[in-house]
Structure 1
């Protein structure tokens, strides 16, 4: 096994162009497990640990640019107010040691349907910055996942950063598992309210071959909130509308039966999580303080 260790981003892109089969190594929280259990034995590993720019982040007025190797710990400690849904998801990732090493970029690169960061990224409106010697492009999160553990990166591309819209309203993330952290989600759901555009976005994890948005549920709830004047007057969402939103969220799933749960259980759980997160986010939105919530 060859071990490539570039000292700069330019060297990393050159190495990836020369050896498209090289597997990137950042925090190593997924790759090292596969190596230790002999589930994967790549011919080349591309260590990105020395590339400082991947560990930096920038917060603009409307967007946070998160370097691919920024650890979950930083999101929890420094970006909670700007990215509340992602911070909540980060809290459920592994142990403190894993949160010190693991990153959103690594989670995206693995592209597991159960990746904890993915639903929150979909709900917030994230774009993946992919780069190669040929140039740079932004891939919307909903277009990034192409299959179980497959993504839209070309063989010569690396994830440089993730661009995430700064929260303008409450966001929530919830998952079902045997415990709150250090466990693969049976299923997960994220919801973000976007008061400026008067829209909602969702993200579903571990309930389809890829992380997905519940677009029909989003459109339905957006219509209900607009037609009922809820954004202007802060009226509660009618129970029948909340129930229909939950049904549509469950209908967006395409789960399977596995050792962690049945397909029927996952659909039911997503419906429950959708209704709960709707209640939490709308309560936070109509509370006197308003704004984004991480409660």
Structure 2
């Protein structure tokens, strides 16, 4: 996109989509983790083993663009661009994913929270490529939802990923398109864990659910732009988070 709009004029372009190793998938049940190649198309995340182990990622993958875009787009593209509206990024944040990088000299792994440093800015060093991302297999419930100006083929106006880890009784909530980068709602996560037992499904009172949504909205940092207003975005993430929490305790 930046090349098309003349924001960048590279002298050389390397077609990483032709590197088969970047499309690999490694599922390690002993370590309870999945490593996904940076070039694996979203289309291949919508169903099968990835969807079974990482349902929120599968849900996010299904919302990306059109079938043609999903056949070419990848997590590596989302991470490389680092737009706060990237569909996969809230999922990576909520699951505390690791980004794996490689250069001619060395390889390194970085927490996704340290990798995303600002609006379309990341921690990739010169000469490095994004090789893969590693995500944990969580025992519990996870979901993703977004809202845009239409139902499909749309960039997020607001998005949310919610992960409930039943094994350790914790919750993770990550928001997209409502800040300079993906926002983890850590204050709300800690507050909710103190209000209810997240190790089991439980009925959530209307008051608790409303306060949860209000706290989520307060942690967002949206702006007014050509796609939406800050006021609507705060409202949207509150609604999305409440819907996901309700589903987590009913499914």
TM-score normalised by the chain length of structure 2: 0.94
In the alignment, structure 1 residue 51 sits paired with structure 2 residue 13? no
**In structure 2, what is the equivalent of residue 273 of structure 1?**
240
Alignment partner of 2:40 out of 70, 83, 86: 70
Structure 1, residues 56-107: CA drift from partner, whole Å, max 9, x if none?
1011111000001011011112211111001101111010011010001111
- Asked whether the equivalents of residues 84 and 167 of structure 1 are also in contact (C-alpha less than 8 Å), the reply is no
| 1:38 aligned onto 2:9 | no
Q: What residue is the counterpart of 1:94 in the other structure? A: 65
Structure ID, larger Rg: 1
Aligned equivalent of 2:211: 244
Asked if 2 retains the 8 angstrom alpha-carbon contact of 1:69 and 1:104, the reply is yes
Match for residue 153 of structure 1? Answer: 124
Deviation at 1:214, TM superposition (A): 0.7
Q: Any gaps of 5 or more consecutive residues in structure 1?
A: 1-32, 285-295
Q: How does 1:142-291 map to 2 (within 5 A)?
A: 142-226=113-197, 231-232=199-200, 234-284=201-251
1:109-130, CA deviations, whole angstroms, 9 ceiling, x for partnerless residues?
1100100111111112211111
Is the partner of 2:46 in helix, strand or coil? helix
- C-alpha root-mean-square deviation of aligned residues, in Å? 1.4
Give how far 1:259 is off.
0.8
1-structure distance, mates of 2:215, 2:115: 23
Aligned counterparts of 1:242 and 1:138: Cα–Cα separation in 2? 37
Paired residues in the alignment total: 248
Deviation at 1:135, TM superposition (A): 2.1
1:84-123 equivalent positions in 2, closer than 5 A: 84-123=55-94
Q: 1 CA distance for matches of 2:100 and 2:136?
A: 14
**CA distance in 1: counterparts of 2:115 and 2:7, whole angstroms:** 24
* Distance in 1 separating the partners of 2:104 and 2:210: 49
CA distance in 2 between counterparts of 1:59 and 1:235 reads 31
The answer to whether residue 54 in structure 2 is matched with residue 83 in structure 1 is yes
Q: CA deviation at 1:168?
A: 1.6
On the 8 A contact 1:208/1:255 being kept in 2, the answer is yes
Superposed CA offset, 1:149-201 (max 9, x none):
00011112111100011132111111111223211111101101111121111
TM superposition score normalised by structure 1: 0.80
